[in-house]
Amino acid sequence: MDKIKQYHYKLYKPYGYISQFVSTQRYSHKKKYLGELYEFHQGTMAIGRLDEHSEGLLLLTTDGKVSNAINSSNYEKEYYALVDGIISSEAISRLQKGVEIGFGGKKYITRPCKAFSINTPTLPQTKQRVRNSRHGPTSWISITLTQGKFRQVRKMTAAIGFPTLRLVRVRIGEHTVEGLECGSCEAMAELLP
């Protein structure tokens, strides 16, 4: 029996787009969808999601087994977050150990993660309005998770008193945003090693 050809992509999801391909709601004509960025093969699905106000790496596939494997806790997801204020080493330590956030109406302690301060990263321009330094200092941090609750990074930084102003996923496993411009897509031979 012939093996069905599967398709895989690496995409830099821009700010303001929803991580689905078409609208499933009646009155969502003002929303922007991934299908507007590129001609994807039928059956393509996002592996995980980035909310409308987040940007960065999104892996796509037509293969459900690949999607399940990458969505598992075996794959690290790294984010760069621009936060309000100059984050302290104490706050970073709290992130690393796990913080309490709300999810589905319940309180939840996040798993320990990797977190550290970084210099301002080189990232594609965003259409998001991010406040400038006239309104107070900001700082960048890297957070690497092996889980992905709804808006988890934003909830984590808010829980320690440093709300996220811009959020960019830069890595999933070995795949990075390097070489991608905002909104660009690259077809991949495979996503799993």
Q: Which of 2, 51, 63, 84 is catalytic?
A: 51
Residue 39's pLDDT is: 87
Residue recorded with tokens 């309104």? 135
What is 45-92 written as a DSSP string?
A: EEES---TT-EEEEEEES-HHHHHHHHSTTS-EEEEEEEES---HHHH
Closest to 36 in 3D by CA, of 18, 51, 60: 18
pLDDT value at position 2?
Answer: 56
Q: Tell me what pLDDT residue 29 has.
A: 64
Provide the 3-class DSSP secondary structure of residue 61: strand
Sign, Cα dihedral of 51, 87, 110, 159: negative
H or E element in which residue 153 lies: helix 152-159
What tens-digit pLDDT sequence spans the chain (193 residues)?
A: 557 889 999 999 999 998 888 766 655 567 888 888 888 989 999 998 899 999 999 999 999 999 999 988 788 999 999 999 999 999 999 999 999 998 778 898 999 999 999 999 999 888 777 776 678 899 999 999 987 777 899 999 999 999 999 999 999 999 999 999 999 999 999 998 7
Residue 51 bears catalytic tag: yes
Supply the pLDDT for residue 24.
Answer: 63
Structural domains in the chain, sorted by start: 8-72+174-188 (3.30.70.580), 77-172 (3.30.70.1560)
Please work out, in degrees rounded to the nearest 5, the angle formed at the alpha carbon of residue 80 by the alpha carbons of 178 and 88: 145
